[in-house]
Amino acid sequence: MSETLNDEYVPRFARLALEGVRREYPNKLDHVMSGPSRLGSPRELHPAFYGCYDWHSSVHGHWLLVRLLRTGARGLPEAEIRAALAANLTVENLRVEDDYFREPGRASFERPYGWAWLLKLHEELYQWADPDAGRWFEALRPLAATVVEKYLSFFPKQKYPIRVGTHFNTAFGLSFAWDYAEALWGGFRKKALDVRSLQNVGLLKQLVAERARTYFGKDKDYPAAWEPNGDDFLSPSLVEADLMRRVLGAEEFARWFEEFLPGVEDGVYPNLLNPADVTDRSDPKIVHLDGLNLSRAWCMRSIASALPEDSPRRRTLALAASRHAEATLPHVASGDYAGEHWLATFAVYMLSTPSPRSAPAGGGDAVRAMNDGSRLPQSSDFPSGTEFVIKEFDVPLVCVPGRGWFNWFGGTPRPYDPKSLRVDNNWPAESFEEWVGVVEASMKGR
């Protein structure tokens, strides 16, 4: 099983989100009534984000659909997805959503989890050079600006971070805010922002960097052995590290992470490195653990990719990420809405994160060339008798001296079948065929 956005599961994930964003009931409103006149149905209160059981799941369900369209994932009902997005992301619908956020008594509404996903949706639209996306980006701009203002207003007042594994987690909320600020600040010339919005995006980036260092910069020996809690869908330790790898330089982050989770490369946190056991996927809290497995996987993939290529922690996290993905991806479409209204987003986000590539003992230049797509590997690139891991097409291949090549997934070696590889979007078909020939020739020569 591969771990890319061309994964076999992706069309099913798109269908779950497409059905969800148009499904009003069942619905779990988080609505404080200011009086009898403020009673309303989900669609009346939230004409854009009324589906997917709750507001934040609807927001990130829209993100999933935009993400898959933007990345050109295969097997999508594109026309149907565009129609659903166009129906929900109208100027009028989003004006009502913005007005709701600005009402008195809404200061903590969806803070920070829903805020984070709203910015992630706006960021995804910003990065997509598509006429429809441009219109939806503009329609969503006032609400995104309101959310940025809420970040700037609230987080300077929050003295202590919230470290739970659910919606209130501070590190998660700051991580997506950082991504948003990075994307818009770095590329604002593509779509001009008004001066106030541009200033606020710059202030948001500064705020996240300062808050991250203040909240987490001195953390050491994190008690990760205590994870997970019974209804976690985020790992408090890993989302914190995933934030810090964003805001710290590479060398500083490597030092910070070594002190934060010392001994992780030696497997001293088995509860963290192995998937959580999900005993009842119809229970809306227990099924959170499927989300935990997916968010752990995306954190471990991203953290591993930020570590030096020769770091033993990098390999440990990469293999653990594969175990977590393998444990949960088959269960995202479980048949029960308790998980189906939201888990597909976690799966797609996980599949969107970088796949860490481990450098071999020999042939490093060749592997780097493979990884950046500049040329195909040749058998002569690698010293005889070298044991190493190649990560290409998001399928790890392990070469064991005297035994040949193996597909290595979830820590379990399996004889490698070249037909199991699929062409990555960045590689032409003829390159794929040549690559298979190189692998097969290498197998015969060992």
Q: Strand 404-409: give its sheet, edge to edge.
A: 388-392, 395-400, 404-409, 412-415
Predicted local distance difference test score (pLDDT) of residue 189: 44
Predicted local distance difference test score (pLDDT) of residue 195: 76
Closest C-alpha among 214, 180, 215 to residue 200: 180
The one-letter amino acid at 218 = K
Predicted local distance difference test score (pLDDT) of residue 411: 37
- 391, containing H or E segment: strand 388-392
Q: How many residues does the chain have?
A: 446
Predicted local distance difference test score (pLDDT) of residue 421: 36
Alpha-carbon separation of residue 298 from 5, 65, 241, 323, 349 (angstroms): 13, 19, 12, 12, 7
Mean pLDDT of each 10-residue bin along the chain, 446 residues long:
68 98 98 93 98 99 98 93 99 99 97 99 95 96 98 98 99 98 73 78 96 98 97 99 98 98 95 98 98 99 96 95 96 98 98 69 36 39 39 40 39 40 34 45 43
pLDDT digits 0-9 by tens, 287-326: 999 999 999 999 999 999 999 999 999 999 999 999 999 9
Using CB atoms within 10 Å of the CB of residue 12, give its burial: 0 to 12 exposed, 13 to 18 middle, 19+ buried.
middle
Measured CA to CA, the distance from residue 273 to residue 49 in angstroms comes to 35
